[in-house]
């Protein structure tokens, strides 16, 4: 049964709670399955055996799906370049805002790379698209997306700031909702196109370029096709999904919109190893 059919069977006030629970369950199953497969692959690697030579495997810094030296600056650069390339190819314009990174640029921590890349990628994609739309007819260079990295003993915080005009007033109350808002039906219908559009030549080109440029940390994941979807395929679920992924590992995601100016997104990442999975449903859903 698809998302559209499920929406018809659930009361509007309960749809977000239903989607939240469903998504957490799917994340848990995928984490277990992908971790098992990755650990099995590691166990069968030549360097794993006692009589092997020094490690030469490019994925030796992974423990299953957990990347031991995840660097926030490098993740922002990779996700930013992917988003910029996708938007450049889809729009045909070179007026793509730059991404500047400040703060604790050397912050390194263990984390599931695909989860972090999905969240950061969604936030950067939203910011870049907003800036491009606001400055579409401007003759000058669009203002950059500013990323500030702050590292503390237990977590890392990323602040992603843009000057894309902020979130429209009519959308703001439904920001974290899976099922409500003035654009719900159009967004849900777009979900039907995701599987058929996940292997276009445009996406394959970007994916191949990334594999070549980033051999050490690139690992195919279940989120890869969603992260590289065409920019015009808007689902309206990126932010609520990103918050669920952040909270799954005891993190958090908040947005502060300055109408007419821009948006500040605050992503708190709990360093894996000191937090447990958050598999229980949130006690309160913001949009209910």
Query: What distance in Å separates the CA atoms of residue 81 and residue 89, rounded to the nearest whole number?
Result: 12
Average pLDDT over residues 195-207: 44
pTM score: 0.74
- What percent of the chain is modeled with pLDDT above 70? 62
- Whether 180 and 287 have beta carbons less than 8 Å apart is answered as yes
**What is the SS3 assignment for 112?**
strand
Query: What distance in Å separates the CA atoms of residue 166 and residue 263, rounded to the nearest whole number?
Result: 5
pLDDT tens digits, 236-281 = 678 888 999 999 888 999 999 999 999 999 999 998 765 555 555 4
Considering Cα of 111, then 112, then 113, then 119, what sign does the dihedral take?
Answer: negative
CA atoms within 13 A on the CB side of 185: 2
pLDDT-based confidence at residue 26 (cuts at 50, 70, 90): confident
pLDDT tens digits, 61-110 = 778 888 888 999 999 999 999 999 988 888 888 889 999 999 999 999 99
- Whether 107 and 72 have beta carbons less than 8 Å apart is answered as yes
- Domains of the chain: residue spans and CATH: 3-270 (3.30.565.10)
Q: 10 Å Cβ neighbour count for 236?
A: 21
Query: What distance in Å separates the CA atoms of residue 27 and residue 245, rounded to the nearest whole number?
Result: 8
β-partners of residue 160 are: 147, 265
Query: Quick one: which of 182, 175, 84 has its CA closest to 131?
Result: 84
Given this model, what pLDDT does residue 211 score? 44
Return the CA Rg of the chain.
19
Q: 10 Å Cβ neighbour count for 53?
A: 7
**What is the SS3 assignment for 281?**
coil
Query: What distance in Å separates the CA atoms of residue 27 and residue 270, rounded to the nearest whole number?
Result: 17
φ, ψ (nearest 5 deg) of residue 110: -80, 135
β-partners of residue 151 are: 156
β-partners of residue 149 are: 103, 158
pLDDT-based confidence at residue 286 (cuts at 50, 70, 90): very low
- Whether 175 and 131 have beta carbons less than 8 Å apart is answered as no
**H helices present in the chain, as ranges:** 3-9, 15-43, 72-91, 113-134, 184-190, 201-213, 224-227, 238-248
Query: Quick one: which of 120, 62, 113, 125 has its CA closest to 222?
Result: 113
**What is the SS3 assignment for 15?**
helix
Query: Quick one: which of 38, 81, 46 has its CA closest to 220?
Result: 38
- Give helix then strand counts, H and E, for the chain: 8, 8
Given this model, what pLDDT does residue 80 score? 95
pLDDT-based confidence at residue 172 (cuts at 50, 70, 90): confident
Query: What distance in Å separates the CA atoms of residue 285 and residue 91, rounded to the nearest whole number?
Result: 36
């Amino acid at each position: 049964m698809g998302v559209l059919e499920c929406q018809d069977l659930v009361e509007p006030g309960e749809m977000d709670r239903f989607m939240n629970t469903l998504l957490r369950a799917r994340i848990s199953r995928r984490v277990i399955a992908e971790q098992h497969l990755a650990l099995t692959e590691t166990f069968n690697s030549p360097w794993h055996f006692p009589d092997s030579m020094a490690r030469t495997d490019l994925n030796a810094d992974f423990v299953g799906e957990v990347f031991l030296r995840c660097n926030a600056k490098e993740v922002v650069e990779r996700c930013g370049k992917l988003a910029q390339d996708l938007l450049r190819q889809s729009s045909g314009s070179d007026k793509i805002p730059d991404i500047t990174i400040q703060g604790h640029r050397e912050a390194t921590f263990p984390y599931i790379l695909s989860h972090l890349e999905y969240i950061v990628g969604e936030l950067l994609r939203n910011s870049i698209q907003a800036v491009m739309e606001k400055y579409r007819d401007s003759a000058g260079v669009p203002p950059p997306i500013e990323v500030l990295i702050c590292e503390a003993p237990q977590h890392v915080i990323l602040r992603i700031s843009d000057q894309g005009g902020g979130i429209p007033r009519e959308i703001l109350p439904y920001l974290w909702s899976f099922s409500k808002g003035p654009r719900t039906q159009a967004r849900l219908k777009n979900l039907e196109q995701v599987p058929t559009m996940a292997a276009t030549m445009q996406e394959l080109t970007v994916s191949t370029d990334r594999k070549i440029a980033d051999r050490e940390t690139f690992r195919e994941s279940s989120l890869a096709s969603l992260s590289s979807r065409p920019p015009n395929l808007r689902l309206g679920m990126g932010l609520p999904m990103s918050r669920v992924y952040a909270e799954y590992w005891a993190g958090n995601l908040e947005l502060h919109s300055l109408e007419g100016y821009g948006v500040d997104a605050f992503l708190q990442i709990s360093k894996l190893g000191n937090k447990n999975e958050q598999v229980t449903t949130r006690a309160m859903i913001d949009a209910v």
